[in-house]
Structure 1
Amino acid sequence: MKTYIFDPISEDALAYAKEQLEVVTWDDPEIKNFAEAEAVIVRTYKMTPEIIDHMPKLKIIAKHGVGVDNIDISYAKSKGIVVTNTPTANSNSVAELIIGLILDCARKITASHLACIKGLEKNQPMFLSGHEISGKRIGLIGIGHIGVIVGKRLQAGFDMEVLAYDPFLGREKTEAIGFNYTENLEDIYKTCDVISISVPLNDQTRNMVNTREFSMFKPNAVLINASRGGIVNEEALATALDNKQIFGAAIDAFVEEPVPKDHALFLSFNFVGTPHNGANTSDALIRMGTGAVDEIVRFKNKESTWTNLGNKLQ
């Protein structure tokens, strides 16, 4: 099956793809000849209606990762094209980054590093004093694979109390995991010391955390958004940080990406920005790459179990 890989993937995953499929890679001049593609693998490459229309032989789009906002799924479906993703392949890597960002903000690690570069007159200056997270309360907005890993590890490693919100999962399933459940986001904003967001970007979640919500936060609160840009209003976050309405924040996903170097948030103290780097580990890249290849192989082989897989998005 002729498969076009539009973004760089790990060497191990690429070698696996070449064993299983007829592959055209991102650096091959033939990649511009869309008309021959029967399958594609994309990371950030945008599969717009215009691009899809240039691929009359296209049967399957395999997303290398979880989020599919770079793929026009409705249009693909209208053309009879299957779209898949790799929903659990990067969960561990993203969860580890979230925990790292929580500790970074709570203990002002990046802020301390920058202060050292600028020069300090003495150790342990009060403006670099942080907070412990042990025994505190974390609020999880969204309890998918990533949220569960984050909550479980912070419970086990830091004895944190987990308060979770996810209307799709509901109270019974959330409490079965071992988390406390709330039906009201305001409970999380008003009572949690750490808040981590793991939800997709859609009409309901766009600007979910804005000026009104920041007014409810505890002054010692730390906010982490490692899901999608636009869920946290970036201008409102900068204001909240500058006015010390919240203690710290980290974002791994911005509205504009790559994030501009002169973004206003980089002027805010105790803000940490990373370039959508949650899944960027060698381990996750191999799992996502080989997982995307496997979806195409299943489709090609018309395996009876293929249509039952949770990876299929339609």
Structure 2
Amino acid sequence: MKKVLIMLAVPRCQFEQVLPEWELVYPSNEFFTHDELMTKAADVDAIVTVYGNKLSNEVIDAAPKLKMIANFGAGYDNIDVEYATKKGIVVTNSPDPVTEPTAELAMGLMIATARRMGEMNTMLKNKEALKWGVMRNLSTTLVGKQLGIVGMGAIGKALARRAVASGMQIVYHNRKQVDAATEQQLGARYVPLDELLKSSDVVSLNVPLTAVTKRMIGERELALMKPSAYLINTARGPVVDEAALVTALQNKEIAGAGLDVFENEPIIPDALRELPNVVLMPHLGTATHETRGEMSLLVAENIRCFFNGETPPNRIN
């Protein structure tokens, strides 16, 4: 009987359905500790990692039978893929289920930030002094505004569809320009990053965390943005220089930010918490009941395919 270790208590029934002959090493609490992983990895054939939770090379070394690491999440910066590859271990991720919910949250952050929903909600719930009136508490509409999408992958395209439906114009920057048919369908125009930053009313970051994208938005890039513009980040926290962002917000170099991810999660700088023009979420881009189940199903399918001699649908090395 083959054995799979599942690092965190993600939905289990999908694994039982797809891998009925497998032994599931599943945490009785929320997650396995590092020491528990070191012990339990000794005889497993596969490990299910979860984004945001590091799988150390030490644990990999403690698993001599390990043939596969199946990541629960699209981003896989929690795994040393190069090290796994050197050891002959296949690595997969689970990108498809995260697309729509992440784009949905990015759109929600855009609306909440521009329309000052977070700020007004906080004031009303805290019973702070808030004057009502026709010309008070004004905000910004997204209709007719330009959205600059940095990273036109699946999530970027899903966000573009929502933004177009809301009456926005789309420019984008990507490693490679997307095909003409997709550009035409979305009404999207490719521009260099600096032009996107200078001209957009909202900038949404939808890139993976890599050596190239780490802190790609820093002091220089924020200074290029309009004072009336908003920054939305549902990608990874380290894509943005958080200290530079705090300074830009405090100095009103940009109008506000909607953030689902942070540089040192779960630590959030007090300065970000205190700024009224910032909407914060605790990394909830994919956090729906439906998405979690779909992710477990896809992870289990990747494992089933690989050990049946087939090519896993989401192999990344």
Q: State the TM-score, normalized to the length of structure 2.
A: 0.91
Structure 2 counterpart of 1:313: 316
Alignment deviations for residues 189-230 of structure 1 (CA, whole Å, 9 cap, x no partner): 111111100001122212111111122211221110100111
- 1:287 is matched by which residue type in structure 2? E
From 285, 291, 295, the counterpart of 1:288: 295
From 186, 197, 208, the counterpart of 1:189: 197
Q: Contact between 2:94 and 2:299, CA under 8 Å: does it hold in 1?
A: yes
Query: In 2, Cα distance between the equivalents of 1:253 and 1:109?
Result: 19
- Call closer, same or farther: CA 1:63–1:169 in 2, change over 3 Å: farther
Structure 2 counterpart of 1:155: 164
- Call closer, same or farther: CA 1:272–1:20 in 2, change over 3 Å: farther
Structure 2 counterpart of 1:16: 17
Structure 1 counterpart of 2:241: 233
Q: Contact between 2:171 and 2:191, CA under 8 Å: does it hold in 1?
A: no
Alignment deviations for residues 246-305 of structure 1 (CA, whole Å, 9 cap, x no partner): 111011111111124x532112221112111101111110111110001001111113xx
What does 1:49-128 align with in structure 2 at a 5 Å threshold? 49-116=57-124, 117-124=126-133, 128=137
Q: Structure 1 regions of 5+ residues with no counterpart?
A: none
From 150, 158, 166, the counterpart of 1:141: 150
Structure 1 counterpart of 2:254: 246
Query: In 2, Cα distance between the equivalents of 1:287 and 1:223?
Result: 29
Structure 2 counterpart of 1:27: 28
Q: State the TM-score, normalized to the length of structure 1.
A: 0.91
Percent identical among aligned pairs is 34
Query: In 1, Cα distance between the equivalents of 2:101 and 2:185?
Result: 20
Alignment length, in residue pairs? 308
Structure 1 counterpart of 2:216: 208
Query: In 1, Cα distance between the equivalents of 2:246 and 2:67?
Result: 44
From 245, 249, 268, the counterpart of 2:275: 268
- Call closer, same or farther: CA 1:40–1:140 in 2, change over 3 Å: same
Alignment deviations for residues 92-139 of structure 1 (CA, whole Å, 9 cap, x no partner): 111110011001100111110111114225225967321000121100
Which SS does the other structure have where 1:196 is aligned? Answer: strand
Q: Contact between 2:19 and 2:304, CA under 8 Å: does it hold in 1?
A: no
Structure 2 counterpart of 1:257: 265
Structure 1 counterpart of 2:4: 3
- Call closer, same or farther: CA 1:124–1:196 in 2, change over 3 Å: farther
List 4+ stretches of structure 1 deviating above 4 A: 28-31, 124-127
Q: Contact between 2:103 and 2:159, CA under 8 Å: does it hold in 1?
A: yes
Query: In 2, Cα distance between the equivalents of 1:99 and 1:81?
Result: 37
Q: Contact between 1:229 and 1:256, CA under 8 Å: does it hold in 2?
A: yes
- Call closer, same or farther: CA 1:126–1:94 in 2, change over 3 Å: same
